[in-house]
Amino acid sequence: MRAEGGKADFVAADLGDIDVLINNAALYTFAPTPQVPAEDFDQIHDVNVKAPFYLVADLAPGMVQRGGARSST
């Protein structure tokens, strides 16, 4: 998050504490696996795996500190 400009921090500053996180973004390619370019795979992995991981890692401590945390993937 911080490497991408700390957008979660901006959301919290504008809207208040974040109590629920729903990871609902995903990318998919309709090409057969052997034909997926490495660049496409990297982008898919970044959105589908890394983004939810970093969002939870960044937001969960504050959520737990406030008494609970909910995250849905």
Q: What does pTM read for this prediction?
A: 0.68
Q: What is the pLDDT of residue 21?
A: 82
Q: What is the pLDDT of residue 64?
A: 86
Q: What is the pLDDT of residue 71?
A: 64
Q: How far is the C-alpha of 55 from the C-alpha of 32, rounded, in Å?
A: 30
| pLDDT digits 0-9 by tens, 17-58 | 878 888 888 999 999 999 999 999 999 999 999 988 888 888
Domain residue spans in the chain? Answer: 2-72
- Report the mean per-residue pLDDT for the chain: 81
In Å, how far from its chain's centre is CA 53? 6
